């Protein structure tokens, strides 16, 4: 269950990364299909990261001499991570929900006061969440897996951003 | 008067050293005891030395046009660098140094690509602040007031300094104005931006036009003028002249949106731009804009002095009648006979309208 929640959070993070890295790169007015594609890219990136993490987990479990204890250790670390990631995800979803209100002022304010700061603290929060999870872990394998997941999570946005930047540069070069 | 404090990031309660040449200027009372001000700073707020409002924005300097022929002029890179060196603006210097040059002249193709990238990014700001909706809410009341006063359609709405035409394209895409006899036109001096605006409008089959030229010339004149983030680019006499040019026979009203300066605006803008903008120029100019923006009082007074036949005031300075400032406020002006119909049409939004004189 804990693993499933972490996977869902990673997928949500991927969706939002896909959207965020595509913003400001398409000057059309009707952007629904553009952002839909961006969300799909983000989701796909999160799936790739999740698969890599799952393969790493399987490898560690396969070769670990103390498998049952390691599983308990991993579960305990993952549960600790949720203490950080779940409230963050709830805050992000709440600020996104505010944008459904029909007031332009409320929607703008949600961007300035909630989404902006939440975006700003994302890398820091990833770092804190993983460290909080693996800090009191018993096995080095747990710590290694935690750091692998952290690297993957932080890489998603960087990779998506790089790809979006390349696409934009090509498009602008074709115009001027 | 404001005071720049070299190499310090200044908060009211503590000082943290930052990188070379980077500092904050805080309100007059806090800084007067620290050092004298070498620059004629206007608004007493908090911003880094890079955001001294006495200096121009990067985009003001890297593209130049002949005022008479509108032909693109070569821009000497060293002159641009010298301007920002005078202000010890290291952020601007780094951004300009990164632009390719040939024989000390900025490469026009590289500048155009940069300008497009920056304008694409800036559109994101308009999207996040629902700027199209904000314009439409006010514009439709103005247009109704025009109609109530016998000004027959078609009515031409002209966006001055439209850039890539976000406001006009949004109005064309999201509102029924074009089908109601409102001609939506964007005008800009920058031919590259106009080409891009035209391309984007064609890509979405939008009922609007974009023209390269002088928005106040006889051939492009409009019944209603609007602009976004343009006013603060005009300083001193140029600003007064810009306002006076609205006094055309057919022009009935104008809505000019610009940043509303207040104590935390540059800091908030800096945070927003660091998070949202990617190009160094967008980050720099976006924040400098908030430092250079005119106060509502200054805008309204200048407009009243320049345009005797118009009634001018500020719309939407605060949120919901509270002291909380909006990011943008609007310099609103209209022929005096339109005012009663306009006020009546505002309904509950009348609370947002300041004094119209």
For B8-32, the DSSP string reads: EEE-SS-EEE-STT--EEE-HHHHT
A111-129 mean pLDDT: 92
Question: By the CB < 8 Å criterion, does B124 face chain A?
Answer: yes
Please state, in angstroms and rounded to a whole number, the distance separating the CA atoms of residues B114 and B331: 30
Q: How many helices (H) and strands (E) does chain B have?
A: 13, 16
Please state, in angstroms and rounded to a whole number, the distance separating the CA atoms of residues A166 and A150: 25
Q: Assess whether pLDDT exceeds 60 at residue B47.
A: no
Decide if B107 is inside a domain: yes
Least confident of A59-63, B214-218, B234-238, B323-327: B323-327
Question: Which of B53, B81, B114 is a domain's end point?
Answer: B114
pLDDT tens digits, A33-56: 999 999 999 999 999 999 999 999
Asked whether residue B182 falls in the same domain as residue B306, the answer is yes
Asked whether residue B14 falls in the same domain as residue B160, the answer is no
**Proportion of chain B above pLDDT 70, given as a percent:** 86
Cβ-Cβ contacts under 8 Å, A111 against chain B: 128-129
**Could you tell me which chain B residue has the CA closest to the CA of A161?**
B278
pLDDT band at residue A151 under the 50/70/90 scheme: very high
Contact state of A29 with B130 under an 8 Å Cβ cutoff: no
Residue B187 and residue B215 in contact, taking contact as beta carbons nearer than 8 Å: yes
Asked whether residue B203 falls in the same domain as residue B253, the answer is yes
Decide if B288 is inside a domain: yes
Asked whether residue B184 falls in the same domain as residue B229, the answer is yes
B179-186 mean pLDDT: 97
Number of structural domains found in chain B: 2
CA distance A172 to chain B (A): 6
**Could you tell me which chain A residue has the CA closest to the CA of B110?**
A176
pLDDT tens digits, B262-312: 888 888 888 888 888 999 999 999 989 998 999 999 999 999 999 999 999
pLDDT of residue A109: 85
Contact state of B271 with A120 under an 8 Å Cβ cutoff: yes
pLDDT tens digits, B202-238: 999 999 999 999 999 999 999 999 999 999 999 999 9
Least confident of A141-145, B2-6, B141-145, B341-345: B2-6
Please state, in angstroms and rounded to a whole number, the distance separating the CA atoms of residues A171 and A25: 10
Q: Which of residues B169 and A113 earns the better pLDDT score? A: B169
Q: What is the CATH number of the domain that holds B238?
A: 3.40.50.150
pLDDT of residue A38: 97
pLDDT of residue B44: 36
Question: Any idea which residue has 């406001």 for tokens?
Answer: B167
Question: Any idea which residue has 């064309």 for tokens?
Answer: B172
Q: Which two tokens stand for residue A129?
A: 């969440």
Please state, in angstroms and rounded to a whole number, the distance separating the CA atoms of residues B288 and B91: 11
pLDDT of residue B28: 38
Boundaries of domain holding B59 = 3-114
Q: Assess whether pLDDT exceeds 70 at residue B32.
A: no
Question: Any idea which residue has 């407009």 for tokens?
Answer: B303
CA distance A168 to chain B (A): 8
Residue B128 and residue B84 in contact, taking contact as beta carbons nearer than 8 Å: no
Number of structural domains found in chain A: 1
Asked whether residue B174 falls in the same domain as residue B103, the answer is no
pLDDT of residue A131: 95
Q: Which two tokens stand for residue B83?
A: 């301007």
| Claim: this prediction has a pTM higher than 0.90 | no
Question: Which of B57, B86, B114 is a domain's end point?
Answer: B114
The B residues from 162 to 181 touching A (CB cutoff 8 Å) are 164, 166, 169-170, 173-174
pLDDT of residue B48: 59
Asked whether residue B79 falls in the same domain as residue B189, the answer is no
Boundaries of domain holding A7 = 2-175
Asked whether residue B256 falls in the same domain as residue B178, the answer is yes
Decide if B233 is inside a domain: yes
A79-87 mean pLDDT: 96
Chain A contact probe: residue of B264, B276, B348 with most A CBs at under 10 A: B276
Decide if B357 is inside a domain: no
Decide if B306 is inside a domain: yes
Q: Which two tokens stand for residue B133?
A: 């909706």
Residue B89 and residue B55 in contact, taking contact as beta carbons nearer than 8 Å: yes
Question: Which of B114, B149, B181 is a domain's end point?
Answer: B114
Per-residue b or e along B40-56, where b marks 16 or more CB atoms closer than 10 Å to that residue's CB: ebbbbbbbbbbbbbebb
Give the largest CA-CA distance in chain B. Answer: 62
Q: Which two tokens stand for residue A78?
A: 């993952």
pLDDT of residue B49: 62
Asked whether residue B109 falls in the same domain as residue B143, the answer is no
pLDDT of residue B268: 84
Please state, in angstroms and rounded to a whole number, the distance separating the CA atoms of residues B100 and B24: 30
Question: By the CB < 8 Å criterion, does B278 face chain A?
Answer: yes
Q: What secondary structure, in 3-state letters, does A116-169 show?
A: HHHHHHHHHHHHHHHHHHHCCCCCHHHHHHHHHHHHHHHHHHHHHHHHHHHHHH
Asked whether residue B238 falls in the same domain as residue B254, the answer is yes
Asked whether residue B206 falls in the same domain as residue B139, the answer is yes
pLDDT tens digits, B103-155: 999 999 999 999 999 999 999 989 988 999 999 999 999 999 999 999 988 99
pLDDT tens digits, B62-77: 999 998 898 999 999 9
Within 13 A of B259's CA, how many CA atoms are on the CB side?
20
Say how many Å lie between the first and final Cα of chain A, rounded. 52
Asked whether residue B70 falls in the same domain as residue B150, the answer is no
Please state, in angstroms and rounded to a whole number, the distance separating the CA atoms of residues B12 and B30: 7
Question: By the CB < 8 Å criterion, does A26 face chain B?
Answer: yes
Chain B contact probe: residue of A98, A119, A176 with most B CBs at under 10 A: A176
Contact state of B121 with A24 under an 8 Å Cβ cutoff: yes
Q: Assess whether pLDDT exceeds 50 at residue A141.
A: yes
Residue B176 and residue B205 in contact, taking contact as beta carbons nearer than 8 Å: no
> How deeply is A46 buried, as exposed, middle or buried, from its count of CB atoms within 10 A (0-12, 13-18, 19+)?
buried
Asked whether residue B180 falls in the same domain as residue B108, the answer is no
Instruction: Report chain A's mean pLDDT, rounded to a whole number.
Output: 94
């Amino acid at each position: 269950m804990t693993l499933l929640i972490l996977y869902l959070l990673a997928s949500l993070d991927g969706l939002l990364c896909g959207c965020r890295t595509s913003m400001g790169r398409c000057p059309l007015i009707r952007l629904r299909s553009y952002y839909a594609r961006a969300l799909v890219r983000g989701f796909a990136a999160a799936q790739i990261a999740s698969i890599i993490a799952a393969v790493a987990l399987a490898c560690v479990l396969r070769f670990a001499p103390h498998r049952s204890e390691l599983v308990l250790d991993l579960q305990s670390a993952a549960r600790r991570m949720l203490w950080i990631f779940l409230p963050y995800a709830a805050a992000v979803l709440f600020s996104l929900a505010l944008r459904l209100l029909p007031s332009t002022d409320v929607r703008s304010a949600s961007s300035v006061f909630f989404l902006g700061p939440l975006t700003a603290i994302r890398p820091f929060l990833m770092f804190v969440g993983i460290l909080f999870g693996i800090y009191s872990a018993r096995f080095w394998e747990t710590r290694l897996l935690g750091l692998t997941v952290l690297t993957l999570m932080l890489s998603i946005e960087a990779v998506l951003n790089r790809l979006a930047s390349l696409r934009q540069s090509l498009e602008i070069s074709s115009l001027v | 008067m404001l005071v720049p404090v070299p190499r310090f990031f200044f908060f009211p309660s503590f000082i943290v050293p930052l990188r070379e040449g980077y500092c904050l200027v805080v309100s007059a009372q806090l800084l007067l005891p620290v050092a004298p001000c070498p620059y004629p700073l206007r608004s007493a707020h908090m911003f880094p030395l890079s955001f001294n409002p006495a200096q121009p924005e990067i985009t003001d300097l890297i593209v130049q046009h002949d005022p008479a022929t509108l032909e693109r002029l070569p821009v000497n890179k060293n002159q641009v660098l010298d301007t920002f060196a005078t202000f010890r603006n290291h952020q601007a210097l780094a951004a300009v140094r990164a632009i390719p040059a040939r024989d000390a002249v900025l490469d026009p193709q590289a500048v155009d690509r940069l300008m497009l990238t920056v304008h694409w990014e800036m559109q994101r700001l308009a999207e996040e602040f629902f700027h199209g909706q904000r314009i439409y809410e006010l514009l439709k009341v103005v247009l109704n007031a025009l109609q109530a006063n016998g000004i027959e359609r078609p009515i031409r709405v002209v966006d001055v300094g439209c850039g890539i035409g976000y406001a006009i394209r949004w109005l064309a895409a999201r509102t029924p104005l074009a089908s109601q006899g409102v001609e939506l036109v964007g005008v800009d001096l920058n031919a590259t931006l106009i080409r891009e605006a035209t391309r984007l409008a064609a890509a979405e089959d939008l009922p609007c036009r974009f023209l390269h030229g002088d928005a106040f010339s006889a051939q492009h004149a409009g019944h209603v003028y609007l602009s976004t983030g343009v006013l603060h680019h005009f300083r001193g006499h140029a600003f007064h002249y810009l306002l006076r040019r609205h006094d055309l026979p057919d022009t009935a009203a104008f809505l000019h949106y610009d940043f509303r300066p207040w104590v935390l605006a540059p800091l908030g803008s800096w945070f927003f731009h660091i998070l949202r903008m990617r190009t160094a120029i967008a980050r720099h100019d976006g924040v400098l804009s908030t430092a250079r923006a005119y106060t509502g009082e200054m805008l309204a007074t200048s407009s009243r002095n320049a345009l005797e036949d118009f009634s001018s005031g500020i719309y939407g300075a605060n949120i919901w009648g509270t002291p909380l400032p909006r990011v943008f406020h609007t310099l609103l002006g209209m022929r005096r006979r339109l005012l009663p119909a306009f006020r009546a049409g505002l309904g509950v939004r009348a609370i947002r309208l300041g004094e119209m004189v």
